[in-house]
Chains A and B, each alone.
Chain A
């Protein structure tokens, strides 16, 4: 069974950094397209970025609002996906989900809450 468990969220101030982790089981992270999707409190879903599978070249794409501030990576030895978030802004406050998929997304992890507040 495929499972994704995200962690690392917390309360930070604007301008600070945070690294989220997503531990995968039931598959190898390098064999899948892995995505981060966020959801601000009471709002809809927003794609943050993705890393393609190794066989598809491993390229990384980001949404415009986070490009240059967020970095997606993965560690095959730990079967874990990461989201390094720098220069955080109040508007980055959201639950961050990791999810598999090159087009549609599934399954999804439970998510981890990131709160950016002065």
Chain B
């Protein structure tokens, strides 16, 4: 199984400031035939189910604000919130879908400083 790790475990950011979350996979999730990274990001607000933010590393799901962006390739990925808003307080998870079973990172908790 591909093991996903995230850092930091948690971070506190002031409103309007940038938040950056790192995600690493134990093996590459880049599919050579289409040059796409099989990596998604989710947001889970307190008491809510997860919500898909991004797939193919950097493609935002419909309705996701453009302050959220994803980047990276191979085994190293980043989710950036360019200007943190109060509603962004949540746990963020990365997930690989390169191979079965799909696996998630342990999550990064984002709070307001």
Tell me the A residues contacting B by CB distance below 8 Å: 37, 44-47, 61, 63-64, 97, 102-111
Contacts and interface: CB of A to CB of B under 8 A. Distances in A.
B55 interface: yes
A3 to B, nearest CB: 12
A61 B101 contact: yes
A111 B50 CA distance: 10
Contacts of B49: 97, 108-111
Interface in B56-113: 61, 93, 95, 97, 100-107
Contacts of B102: 47, 103
B30 interface: no
Contacts of B61: 106
10 contacts: A44-B93, A61-B101, A63-B101, A97-B50, A104-B40, A105-B42, A106-B51, A106-B52, A108-B52, A110-B49
Looking at chain B's contact residues, the main secondary structure is: loop
Q: Which of B50, B95, B106 has the most A CB atoms < 10 Å from its CB?
A: B50
Contacts of B42: 45, 105
Interface of B: 38, 40, 42, 49-52, 55, 61, 93, 95, 97, 100-107
Q: Which of B61, B93, B104 has the most A CB atoms < 10 Å from its CB?
A: B104
B100 A61 contact: yes
A102 B52 CA distance: 13
Given A47-B102, A61-B100, A61-B101, A108 B38 contact: no
B52 A103 contact: no
A45 B101 contact: no
B55 A104 contact: yes
Given A103-B55, A106-B61, A107-B52, A44 B107 contact: yes
